[in-house]
Structure formats: C-alpha cells, structure tokens
Structure 1
Amino acid sequence: MKKKILLILVVTLLMSTHVAGASGFHETIGTPGEPGTVMIGEMPDNPDPDKPVLLFVQGLTNNSGAWYEGNVMYSTARDAGYETAFVELYDSGGEPRSYWNNGAMLANQIEQISHYFNGKDIVVVGYSKGGVDAQAALIHYGKHHLVRDVITIGSPHYGSELADLAHSTWAGWLAALIGARSEGTESLQTGNMSYFRSITDNRWEALENTYFTIAGDRAGPFFSSYFTGGLFIPGPSDGVVSVESAHLPYGNILAIGNWNHGEVHLGQNAFPVFSPVLTAPQPVQQNGYEEKKVESDLDILVRGGEKHGEMEETFPVEEGVNKITADWICSEELTEIEVTDPDGNTDKIQVTAKEGEVYFEGAWHHTVEINKPEPGEWTVKTAGGNSAYLLVAAFDSPLNSKVEVTTPAGKKGWKVAPAFTGISPQAGQAVSVHASTEFMPGLRGQSPQSAPRSQTIKQRGQKGVINLPFKGEGSYNTTLDIKGTTPSGHSFERTVIRSVFVDDLGVVHD
C-alpha cells in the first residue's frame, strides 16, 4: 500500500512539474542546450489551424530560456492556441557569434521547422540581436519564402552604443577580463550595423516579409545597469538599445512602451502588443514615429584600466555643473566608493552593486551622484583586489552643448570645436584632442580563431581634427579624449566614442 501511494505521489509530482514549468517541449531535434538544436513546443490544448507557428529567436548571450525562464511568453502563446518552436544558436554554447554565423545556423533551423510543420505559415519573433540574426537568415541566406512575418522586440537594427563602449580603448581591460568582447558584440557596433543596413535594406528580399517592431523607452530602474546605459545612449532607450535603433524604415511600429531591455520581451508586455497582427497579416499603418538621427551632447567622461588593490581616478569639473552621475563598473562587488572634492574633503559613499546586463554581463555597476559639484579636481577611489574597471561619468552641465563634434564630408574623421575661446593646454587652441582607434579587419563570417587581430592606432589632433587612420576594410572604434578650459579658466574633460565601418570600396559607414 505504501509503495502504491509513493508511486502515485511521484507520478503526480512529475505531472505537476511538467505542466507548471512551461519549459517542456513536444520534441527536441538535436542535443538540448547545444547550438543548432530545435525545440518544438508543446501542442496547445485547442490548436487553431489558421494561426501561424511562432518561432522565437533570442538575443546576445541568451539561450532559448529567455522565452520561458522568468518569462511567460511560451505559456501565453501556447494557451492562446499557437504552435511554437525555439532554437539554440551559437550564444547558447557560450560563444556569442555575429549575425552572419547565427543567421546561417538559423536559416537551416527555419528549414527544419518549416518541414516539421508541413510548410505552415511561420512568424519569427526576434528579441534583441535575435531580430538581426533573423534578417540575416531570411534576406542573406534566402529563407524569406518560408516565413510570413517578422516581429522584432528591442532589436538593435542600427547597433548599440554600448557595443561601441565595450570595444573602446578604455574598456579594454574590463572587457577582456569578463569576456565582454566577442564576435557577437563586435558585429553590433553602430558602424558595423550601418554597413549591414546598407547591404540589407536595398535588397528585394527585404520586402518579401512584413516586419513589425516593438521598442522600450525605460532606462531604469534607478542606478541599475539599464540606468547607466540610458546615460550613455543618446535619446530615449531601453537601457541597451535606443528607440531609434529598434525600428526599421520599412517596418510597422507596434509600440514604444515603458519597458527596459529586460522587460520588453516578456510575455505579459509584448504578446498583447503583437498578437493582433498574427491573425491579420496585412501591413498596419506606421504610428507616426519620426526616424531621425539623435545627436548627443558632449556629456560623458570615460576612464578605465587594470586595477591592483586600491584604484582612483581624478578628473576636472568645470563651473556650473548641476550634477555628475558616475558608474564604477568592475569585475568585483564593492560596498563603498570614496569621493574627494577639490578642497580635500572625502565622503565614503555606501553603494549597492548591480549586476551587469548584455554587454557587461559578469561585471558589477556601482553608481554615485554628486550634486552641485564645486569646480576643480575631483577624485573617485575604490578598494578591493586585483581586477579591472571602467568609469563612466555623465555631466549635467551647460558646457555639454557648447563643444561640438562634427564629421567632415566623406566621414573620414572628426572635428572638435568649442563655441568659446578658452585657455588651452596647447597654445592657440581652445581644446586638445587625443584619439585611440581600435581597428579590426572586416572579413565577414570568420571564426574567432581565424580572425585577424585588432590593431590600436594612437593620434594627436591638429587644431581639433582627428583623421580616420585608414587601414583598409574593417571596423574602426575611435575614442576621442577631449581636454580644455572654459573662458573662466576651469579645466574640463570629456570622452566621445565613435564607430565606423569602411567597406571594400573605401566608403565609410557610421
């Protein structure tokens, strides 16, 4: 009798776990968790033959669990009568790859899924980089005829400035330590994505599917990694991808919602937005969002490097600054940051470490605010062990709009020009500019093992001008370190990070 009761209890527990978990699959084609695997979702209780199959494609560093671990998207779609499919791309194996490599793998998986469902309509739902991977599969690898529509959610169609930051010179030590530089992040730099758009959007295959886009505009909560991302990214963003970047010129905008990048793809947020178009495949009208280039003020200072025990960064603050928001990003969790003002007064600020997301996953964010700082030299200091760090400080200052960084015709460089005359570190100039460019030869689809190493080129600006150091086809990530003085004699420093891609014809894409 006891054995019978025990058997019933075990069976009951197994059944309840299977139903409640929502992560069980009807069939797995391949090895669970490994790149290239396809999972067919559990059949809905009341399947609707007129509803398309939903193929969910996750983003950078994610596996398919992005749709069902801490997310009700899978169960919501199934309960609504949709058949579903999930895939594991290279990122699932811990090696984020470019949209060229992920796209090639996804193209094969789409073919398998189409065959499994006997050619039934498929709608791809791509989150973050998954939306770009999907475009590569459909447009460049020719699987557009197997898919009806594409819904992209928080996808960086024009890249992410955080990818530019991760591949900048200042971020080198930290990125190397936490593995933040990969083929995947490299491909999402804004210059690389500008090139991708130039060879994608004008192809006839781009119009063979109907595209819908969803974006988030909440760079929060306060002091989170999304909050810091929002400080660095120009214009409204979800803390990882700007609203501008999340849309396509031929896409239909479904929503710009109050979600950060970790919320925008959740079932309770995104499914009610895109579900109406699943049964109404005709294009909807644009919602009036005006695509335009968002120009950023000169408001960011970036520093970084290797850390051995205590580490400090000193930087000047000009007059009139309303607030400085500083994020100390490092590979160890800190509880305190020391801030010393120009008069030598030190304040030990207790901080709450926040885990990094996406581009700085594996690092910790520690954010402090300095309100109404006095002009002069300020120091930020931390303790701890051997590590690496990145300091990103955002200045709320009238100076931000008084120094302009422009791109000359041909886009082969930058010019820094202030709207005032100051006392300069270099006689006769209002500002001085030093540049460090990380050049990566652009050979599409190469594996990380065979890809050529990057080169670093250092330059000193002449009259505020930095010319792009042409080394051939590839991506150029340039950090401009700007120093100067205001008319009242106070020093200031700012950092500008720009990414461009030069194609085989010498055309610059930014």
Structure 2
Amino acid sequence: MVKKAGILLLVAILLLPLQVYAGSFGKGDTSGTPGQWYVGLTPTDVDSSKSPVVFVHGLNSSSHTWWKDNDMYQIAYNHGFETAFINLYPTKNMWDNGKLLAEKLKQIYEYFGEELVVVAHSKGGIDAQSALVHYQASPYVDRLITLSTPHHGSQLADLAYSSWAGWLADILGSKNPAVYSLQTGYMNNFRSQTDSHANVYKDPIFTFGGTGWGTFGTSLYWGGLYLSSYGANDGAVTVANSRLPYAQEVKVADWNHSEIRLGSSTFRLFDQYLYENQTVTAYKTLAEPMDRQKHQTSPPTDRYYRGGTYKGSTSENFAVENHVTEATVNWISERENTELTLIGPDGNKHSSFEVTPASSKIFQGAYHHSIQLNQPAKGEWTLQAASPEEHYLLSVHYQSPVNQDLDLTVNKNMEVSILAQHQQTIDQNKVKADIRLDYYKKGKQKTKSLKWNDLNGSSSKKLAKLGEGTYNLTINLKGITKANVPFNRTIVTSVYIDSNGRVIK
C-alpha cells in the first residue's frame, strides 16, 4: 500500500508536467529531461514474483519511445508489471549515460525495494551495460535485455564520420559524442575494457536482433542495403553486432530497428525473464557461439561516395564496370524536392527516384532519393541535381565481381592493405588510392591525406599514429578491370589506437 501511495508523491517530487495514467502518461513531456524518470501506474493486482521493469531508450530519443506509437508500456501494465522509464542524454556517449543511469537505477531500486530488470533499445543497451559494469549499478539490477543494441558499434556511424559524409552528418545535427562513440573502432575499445572487466558476468544479458529492413523505397531500406555486406541487419544494426559472446540470444526475427522495440513484437518473448524467481542458468552456459554468423570486420568494398555543397545545380560522375548486375544510386540530402536526372553512357535518362525520409538516427532529418538499375550499361554515368542550395552525399552500391578483388585490412602497426590475396577481374598495377585519415583529439579534428599511386609491388601503406583515439579512414579507389573498363570504389572504416599506440581490433 505504501508503494501505491508513493506514486503521486514521486510524481510531485520529480515535478512531472503530467498525470499518471496507464497508456497515456508522459505525453506532455516533449523533450525528455536527462535524469528524469517516471513510474508507470501500479497494476491493480501486483504479483510479488514479477520484477519491476526499467525501460531505457536509445540514440536521439527519450522515454517517449516506449509509449508514443508503441504498445510496450500498455502491454507490460496489462500483464501486471510495475514499470519505470528513464530519460538519458540523447546525444552523449556510454560513459556519460552510464554514470547517469547508474545513479538513477539506484534511486529506482530504492523506490521499488527490489532488484530491477532493464529493457533497453539500441544504444540504450550499451549505456545500460556501461552502468552495470563500470559504474557499480549491478547490485540494483537482476538482468539486462537488449533490443537490437549495437554492442560492437554501427558501420553507419563510421560512414557519418567519413570525409564524404561527415559534413552532412554535422549539418543534420548528427555529429555528436553518441554517434562518435558508435564507430566500430571506438566500440572495439569499449568492448576491450568491458568484456574483460570483473563485473561483466554479474548480470545475465539477453539479446534480440532484427533482419527486416523493408523493400526498395522504404525508410530503412538504404541503411539495410549499406549494412547488407556485413550480414543480416534491421536497417540500422547488424545481427552480428547485436550479439555478445557471453549473452543468451533470445530471438532473431524479421523486425526492423523500430519494430523491435514494440511491445507487440517482443514482449511475449522476454516476459519470462521478468520474474524474480525465474531460474537463470549459469551465466557462461547461456552463451551461443557467434560463429553462427561470423562477425565481419572487413568493411564493404561495393560502394562509391561523393558529396559536397552547391547552389543552383551540380553534377556527379561515376563509373560502372563490366559485369555489374545491379547498381543502386542513392542521393542523401536535407532537401525533399531535389530535381535529379541520371544519364547513362548510352544517353538514356532516368528520373524516377523514390524519396523517403531517413529513418536512421544517425542521418535523422535527411531524405533518400534512390533509384535501382538492373544490368546497367558499362561506362560513365552522370547524375545531375538542381536545388536552390543543398548539402548532399551520393552513394552508389554495386553488385559486381570486382567487390571480391578488394579487401581493406588494417594491422596492429596501422599498415593498410587494399587488395584481396588473388585478383580475378582487376588489374592491380592500375589501381590508385587516395587515403584520408580523420582523427579527433580533445574534440578537435586532425586530418592526414596521402596518395597511393602505384600498388604494383606494394602490399601495404603505413599510416601515421597521431595519439590515442578513433581514426576514421576514407579510401577512394580508381582502377581498371582486365577488360580495360574503369571502376570506382570508396571504402570506409574506423580503428581505435590506445594510449600505448596499439590498434584495438
């Protein structure tokens, strides 16, 4: 009874501009104040065996994500679970959010008087694990459930910080500490600090992953297409990156990154883990081998990027080599109504672009203008664009045998190699590369550029180490196939160098 009566007092203490009603509370809080947390309405018949559930949001989001256009809160309430919802910093990294969340989990634990189950979407799962492992929140939590959490980072974050797309992410407000920390290189460092920590086995972790990113023209399609070279994904996070070697994977299904957080999608699959007396098998025995879908570390070699700013009109050219079976052209910008005309080497014009808002939190506010070409003619293509003023990123995705001949690797000495061991379709003596290295030190960007004009007899190129931190590499390739047809590619990746000068992989 004291707990039920305490809800109104808690609301008053937190100065919430709302009333607490099942399924509708919190709708007056439009922004989400970091550190503010809400308690859901107490079910009429609380089962003491059911743990209180704390829901944690992801990148560029707030507690709203659990009840606005989402039935997760309502379903949890209907099933008799007490709930709490926390607002974290929407654009800060896992260290800032982990510290804040740990403080609030202690408060929520003291309010309910029992251990909590944390359910986290996307980056919220990283923030939650940071709180448990690095900020001593483990005593307040019984277990953690993550819904499409990029435990190993997101290759979309690497793209956001690349030389071609970084400025676009900046314009759209997506260049921030949260996105920076989601680069795969940065997350390699986080994993090295976390997975070996003494606290990592104290709270069982249960993971979910999604494989649905829709059909051509849907909002998550482009993210899914970009990530497809890394394996199955939900349009924002790959299945491989949603896994941890010491966690139990509950389910991978045909959810996209937004659907996986819906109560109607996943609640019935994890509600069995929300009970206090639920027996959890010894932590390590829950692990399922990650080799069911090998965690790919090599970045994709099937893309070409260009970007910039213009007023009035501009054009970009790209090559299509022989034996390309399909090419997807995607123009990303802040403009919804750009006039685009694609002209093939045969003079034929294409203007039927699908326009969809970007659903990725990393390019939030942008629009995708996409067109798919089947059996495109080989040679030079031109994309003409017209708009009063526009910032853009052009992406071309190729299905081609050339992709198999390219393989970017970065070793522990920061030596970069570009070619696969054996080339079937390209002339390695005619491949040239421009390499740009972007590095941030104390918030300030440092850039190094170099040319790799002749790969003949040169298997690697050593890059400079500028200090501890994340290094984003953008490599632009030009070459000739053995059929004497030009090709272009852009390869993007990131690595982390620790304080001892070691590359963390």
TM-score (norm 2): 0.89
Distance 2:424 2:270 in 1: 53
Partner of 2:469: 474
Asked if 1:275 is matched to 2:282, the reply is no
Distance 2:178 2:344 in 1: 40
SS of equivalent residue, structure 2 residue 301: coil
Partner of 1:383: 386
Distance 2:443 2:157 in 1: 19
Asked if 1:229 is matched to 2:223, the reply is yes
Distance 2:321 2:432 in 1: 16
Matches within 5 A, 1:186-265: 186-233=180-227, 234-265=230-261
Q: 1:72 to 1:423 in 2, by over 3 A?
A: closer
Asked if 1:486 is matched to 2:481, the reply is yes
Distance 2:319 2:401 in 1: 15
Correspondent of 1:159 among 139, 153, 157: 153
- The answer (yes or no) to whether the contact 1:435–1:466 under 8 Å persists in 2 is no
How far did 1:461 drift? Answer: 2.0
- The answer (yes or no) to whether the contact 1:337–1:351 under 8 Å persists in 2 is no
* CA deviation map 1:247-306 (0-9, x unaligned): 111100000010110111111111011112223241384566525222455211111111
SS of equivalent residue, structure 2 residue 194: coil
Partner of 1:305: 308
Q: 1:343 to 1:469 in 2, by over 3 A?
A: same
- The answer (yes or no) to whether the contact 1:297–1:401 under 8 Å persists in 2 is no
* CA deviation map 1:308-339 (0-9, x unaligned): 22222101110011110111100010264211
SS of equivalent residue, structure 2 residue 259: coil
Distance 1:254 1:98 in 2: 26
How far did 1:371 drift? Answer: 1.3
Partner of 2:25: 24
Q: Which runs of 4+ in 1 moved over 3 A?
A: 17-21, 283-289, 418-424, 462-466
Correspondent of 1:171 among 151, 154, 165: 165
Partner of 1:10: none
Matches within 5 A, 1:96-107: 96-107=91-102
Distance 2:223 2:31 in 1: 33
Give % identity: 35
Matches within 5 A, 1:76-95: 76-91=75-90
SS of equivalent residue, structure 2 residue 220: helix
Matches within 5 A, 1:372-451: 372-408=375-411, 410=412, 412-417=414-419, 419-420=422-423, 429-441=429-441, 451=442
Asked if 1:508 is matched to 2:497, the reply is no
- The answer (yes or no) to whether the contact 2:415–2:462 under 8 Å persists in 1 is yes
Partner of 1:455: 446
- The answer (yes or no) to whether the contact 1:337–1:348 under 8 Å persists in 2 is yes
**Structure 1 spans left out of the alignment, 5+ residues:** 1-16, 442-450
Distance 1:188 1:285 in 2: 26
Distance 1:335 1:308 in 2: 12
How far did 1:348 drift? Answer: 2.3
Asked if 1:33 is matched to 2:32, the reply is yes
SS of equivalent residue, structure 2 residue 429: coil
What amino acid is aligned across from residue 142 of structure 1 in structure 2?
A: Q
Q: 1:53 to 1:376 in 2, by over 3 A?
A: same
* CA deviation map 1:357-404 (0-9, x unaligned): 211001111110111111110011221121211112110112111223
Distance 1:353 1:238 in 2: 17
**Structure 2 spans left out of the alignment, 5+ residues:** 1-17
Distance 1:423 1:36 in 2: 55
Partner of 2:136: 142
Q: How many residues align?
A: 474
Partner of 2:8: none
What amino acid is aligned across from residue 326 of structure 1 in structure 2?
A: V
Distance 2:34 2:433 in 1: 45
How far did 1:20 drift? Answer: 7.8
- The answer (yes or no) to whether the contact 2:353–2:370 under 8 Å persists in 1 is no
How far did 1:411 drift? Answer: 5.2
Distance 1:270 1:422 in 2: 45
Distance 2:330 2:156 in 1: 14
Q: 1:288 to 1:406 in 2, by over 3 A?
A: closer
Asked if 1:342 is matched to 2:341, the reply is no
Partner of 2:49: 50
- The answer (yes or no) to whether the contact 2:53–2:274 under 8 Å persists in 1 is no
SS of equivalent residue, structure 1 residue 82: coil
How far did 1:438 drift? Answer: 1.0
